[in-house]
Structure 1
Amino acid sequence: MLFTWVSVEQSGEQLRIAERGQVTGRFNAAIGNLSSSAVDVRLGGIYGLERLMRDSPYDQPTVVTLLTAYVREHTHGQVDVSAEARPATDVQAAMTVLANRDATRDGSGDFDLRNVRLRNLGYMGMWDRARQRVIGINFPEADFSDADLGSADLGHARLPGAVLVGTSLREATLDGTELADAVLTEADLSRSHLVRADLRRIQATGAHFDDTYLTRAALVGARLQRATLVRASLPGAILRGADLREADLRDADFTGADLSGADFTGAKNLSTVEFKGTVRKGTRGLGSYG
C-alpha cells in the first residue's frame, strides 16, 4: 500500500515537472516570436502568450509585465502629427489581449503604460454569447500617465483607480466607463464622451472637460478644483459633494443635475451657466446664480 502511494506521488511530481517544462517551452517560443521582423509572427507570439496566460494563471503576472513592456517599446516617443494615425496591428492586438485578461490573476504584474501613444485605439471588448453582453476592457489601477489616448474607444471599460495624470483623452469614447477613484490631474478630456460614466471621487484638479459630454455621469465627491468645463454638457449629472472651486464653467449646462453639497466657491463665469431644474441643497458658492 505504501509502495503504491509513493508511486502515485512520484508520478504526479513527474507530471507537474513535465507540464512546467511545456509551459517554459511555450513561453520561450512566444518570446522568440515577439522579436521577429514579420508582423504575423509577432502576432503569433502575442496570441501564444494569451493562451499561456489562460492555461497557466501562475504565469499571468509575467505575461502582463511583458506585454505592457512590448506596447511601451513599440509606441513610446512616437511623434505622428496625423489625426488619423492608429496603433500598429500588433500593438492593438497586445492591448486587446491585456484588456480581456482576468485581472484578479495579475498578482505582482507591472501594468505600466506611461507615455504610450495609442491615438485612435480601437475597441477592445469581446462579445460574451452566453451572457449576451460585452465583456473585457479591464485596466484597474493601470498607469497611463502622460499617454496619448486621443480618440481611443474605451467605452464601458473598467479603469477604477487608474492613474491618468496628464493623459490626453481628447475626443475619446468613454460612455459607461468606470473611472471611480481614478487620478486625472491635468488630463485633457476635451470633446470626449462620458455619458453615464462612473467618475465618483475622481481627482481631476486642473483637468480639461471643454465641450465634453457628461450627461447623467456620476461625479459624486469628484475633485474638480481649477478644472475647465467650458461648454461642458452635464444634464442629469450627479455632482453631490463635488469640489468645483475655481473651476471655469463658461457656458456649461447643468440642467437637471444634482448639485447637493457641491462647492462652487470661486468658480468662474457662473453667470453664463445653465442651472435649470438643478437640485442645490447645501450647495456653496452659487449665491443667486441660476
Structure 2
Amino acid sequence: MASPVPQPTSREPLQPMPRKVIALVATGIALVTIVLVVVLWWWGTAGLSGKELVTARLDALRTGLSIGIGGGGVFALYLAWRRQHATEVGLVQKELDQADVARAYELQREVAEHNRLHAERVAAATEKDASDRRVTELYTKASEQLGSDKAPVRFAGIYALERLAQDNPEHRQTIVNLLCAYLRMPYPPRGDENDADHRERVQELEVRRTAQHVLSSHLRPAAGVTFWGEAQEVNLNGATLVDVDFSGCHFGEADFGEAVFVGTANFVGAAFTRLASFNRVVFEGFAQFVNVKFDAVFFVNATFHGSNFMNAAFRLAQFDGARFRAAVRAEVAEAHHPRHGGSDRPGDYFNTAHFRELGNFRRASFDAGVDFSDVTGSGLEFGGACFGGVTKFNRTTILAECLVDDGAGQFIHAQVSTGDVATRSTWPENWVVGEDGVITERPVETSASD
C-alpha cells in the first residue's frame, strides 16, 4: 500500500487591498502631516521671536515630518506584511496543489493497479473456466468412449484419459478411479473359441490389458515426470486382472479385496504406504511379492496357487484363513527359487521376510509346502494352521506360536496334513509334531533361548 502524502498546514488568505484605499491612506497621512506641521508651526511658536522662533519652527517642522514619515513607515510595513503574507499563502497553496497532484497520482496508480489485478483475476478465472470446460468435455467424451461397444473406441477413451491426467494433476485421482471402475466391470476371461462372443472377449482382454498398463505405468516413481504420485488410492475390489504387472508401483490405500488374478500377478518391488486389502482374493497363477514393502496388509481368506514373499517387509500382516493350495510346477518353482529341488520343493516362499509387529497365519493352510527360513521381526502366529508338503523354518528364531483360542476357550493346534512331511521339514525348535500330525509347543523354558 502506498505511503500517505504529507499535508501542509493551510493559511487563510487576506482579501486584496484596493488601490484607492492605499491612495486614501497615503493622502490622509500627508494631510495629517501637513496639518500637524502647520499647527506646530503657528501655534507652537506663538510669542517667540528671534532665534528661539527659528529653533521652535524647525523643531515643529521636524516633529511633524517625523510623525508623517513614521505613519508612512507603519503603513509601508503593513503593506510589506500583507505582501509577505500573500507570498506565504501562495507557497502554502502551491504545496497544497502539489499534494493534491500527488494524491491524484497515487489514487490513479492505485486505481490502475486495482484494474490490473482485477483484469488478471478475470483473465485467470476466464482461463480456468475455459480449462475446466475443456477438461469436462474431454472427460465426458473419454468416458463415453470407454463405454462404447467397439474396442477401438474404448482404446481411444483410455489413452484420452491418460493424456488428460498427465496434463491436469488435480484430476489424476479421478482418472485412476475411472480406470479402476472400468477394470471392476464383470469380465469372463475364459470361454470356448467357438462361442459367438469369443472375438469380443479377446478384444476386451486387450482393452483391459491396456487399462492395466496405463494404470501401473503411472504409479512407478521410476517413470519420472509421468509418475502420478505415491498417494494415489486404488480400488480394484472384485476386479478381474489378467497377467497384471504392478512391479515397482507405489500405492496409497489399495483395495484388491475379492479380486481374481488370472495368470501371473507381479508386485515385485512395490510399496504400499497405507492399508492394503487382499481379503478373499484369488491368485490363479503365481503371485510375486518379492521385496514388497507393506504397512498393514490383509490377506484374510485369500487363495494362492504359488506365491513368493521373499525379502518382503511387513509392519502388520494378516493371513488368517489364507489357503496356499496348489504346488507350483517344477519348472516355475525352479525359476523362482532354484535352491530347492526334487520332492523338497515348497510351493510358497516367505524366506528372508521381515514382520516388524506381527505375522498372523492362524487357520492358514499350506498344501504344497512353505519356506519360512531366515524370517526376522517380532513374531509369527500359526494357531490352527495346517501344513502339507515340506515346511522349513531354518534359522527362524522369532516367536512362532501354534496355539490359538477358538473363541470357546479351547486352544486349536497347528497340524501336519501328511505323515511323512514331518521328518523332511524343519520346524521351529519350540514345536513338537506328534504321531497324529498335530503340532504342540514345548515348555516355555525349552524355547527361551530362541
Note if contact 2:230-2:250 (Cα within 8 Å) is conserved in structure 1.
Answer: no
Q: Aligned pair 1:27/2:139, yes or no?
A: yes
What one-letter code is carried by the residue in structure 2 that aligns with 1:224?
Answer: F
Q: Tell me: CA distance 1:200–1:3, structure 2 relative to 1, closer, same or farther (3 Å).
A: closer
Note if contact 2:370-2:391 (Cα within 8 Å) is conserved in structure 1.
Answer: yes
Q: Tell me: CA distance 1:105–1:16, structure 2 relative to 1, closer, same or farther (3 Å).
A: farther
Whole-angstrom distance in 1 between the partners of 2:311 and 2:191: 31
Q: Tell me: CA distance 1:264–1:105, structure 2 relative to 1, closer, same or farther (3 Å).
A: closer
Cα displacement (A) at 1:8? 2.1
Cα displacement (A) at 1:62? 2.3
Stretch deviating more after TM superposition (16-25 or 138-147):
138-147
Note if contact 1:179-1:198 (Cα within 8 Å) is conserved in structure 2.
Answer: yes
Cα displacement (A) at 1:77? 5.4
Q: Aligned pair 1:93/2:231, yes or no?
A: no
- SS of the counterpart of 2:283? coil
What one-letter code is carried by the residue in structure 2 that aligns with 1:236?
Answer: D
- SS of the counterpart of 1:262? strand
The aligned counterpart of 2:29 is none
Q: Aligned pair 1:229/2:366, yes or no?
A: yes
What one-letter code is carried by the residue in structure 2 that aligns with 1:112?
Answer: N
The aligned counterpart of 1:238 is 376
Note if contact 1:239-1:262 (Cα within 8 Å) is conserved in structure 2.
Answer: no
**Larger proportion of strand:** 2
Whole-angstrom distance in 2 between the partners of 1:264 and 1:41: 55
The aligned counterpart of 1:131 is none
- SS of the counterpart of 2:288? coil
Structure 2: runs of 5+ lacking an equivalent:
1-111, 193-200, 220-227, 326-346, 404-412, 431-438
The aligned counterpart of 2:270 is 157
Q: Which of these residues, 353, 371, 394, is aligned with residue 255 of structure 1?
A: 394
Whole-angstrom distance in 2 between the partners of 1:105 and 1:260: 33
Note if contact 2:246-2:268 (Cα within 8 Å) is conserved in structure 1.
Answer: no
- SS of the counterpart of 1:98? helix
Cα displacement (A) at 1:187? 0.5
Q: What are the equivalent positions in structure 2 for 1:88-167 lying under 5 Å apart? A: 88-99=205-216, 100-101=218-219, 102-104=228-230, 106=232, 111-121=234-244, 123-125=245-247, 135=248, 137-150=249-262, 151-159=264-272, 160-167=274-281
The aligned counterpart of 1:267 is 414
What one-letter code is carried by the residue in structure 2 that aligns with 1:204?
Answer: F
Note if contact 1:188-1:207 (Cα within 8 Å) is conserved in structure 2.
Answer: yes
Q: Which of these residues, 172, 181, 193, is aligned with residue 296 of structure 2?
A: 181
Cα displacement (A) at 1:205? 0.6
Whole-angstrom distance in 2 between the partners of 1:4 and 1:79: 60
Cα displacement (A) at 1:227? 0.9
Whole-angstrom distance in 2 between the partners of 1:119 and 1:97: 14
Q: Tell me: CA distance 1:196–1:81, structure 2 relative to 1, closer, same or farther (3 Å).
A: farther
Question: What RMSD in Å do the two structures reach over aligned CA positions?
Answer: 3.1
The sequence identity of aligned pairs, in percent, is 21
Q: Tell me: CA distance 1:104–1:180, structure 2 relative to 1, closer, same or farther (3 Å).
A: closer
The aligned counterpart of 1:59 is 171
Note if contact 1:77-1:115 (Cα within 8 Å) is conserved in structure 2.
Answer: no
Work out which of the two has the higher radius of gyration on C-alpha atoms and give 1 or 2.
2
Whole-angstrom distance in 1 between the partners of 2:183 and 2:212: 8
The aligned counterpart of 1:206 is 321
Q: Tell me: CA distance 1:260–1:124, structure 2 relative to 1, closer, same or farther (3 Å).
A: closer
Q: How many residues align?
A: 266
The aligned counterpart of 1:129 is none
Whole-angstrom distance in 2 between the partners of 1:4 and 1:199: 56
The aligned counterpart of 2:308 is 193
Cα deviation, 1:141-185, whole Å, max 9, x if unaligned, reads 322222111422222223452211111124222222234311111
What one-letter code is carried by the residue in structure 2 that aligns with 1:118?
Answer: L
TM-score computed with the length of structure 2 as normaliser: 0.53
Note if contact 2:265-2:288 (Cα within 8 Å) is conserved in structure 1.
Answer: yes
What one-letter code is carried by the residue in structure 1 that aligns with 2:152?
Answer: D
Q: Tell me: CA distance 1:233–1:155, structure 2 relative to 1, closer, same or farther (3 Å).
A: same
Q: Aligned pair 1:80/2:190, yes or no?
A: yes
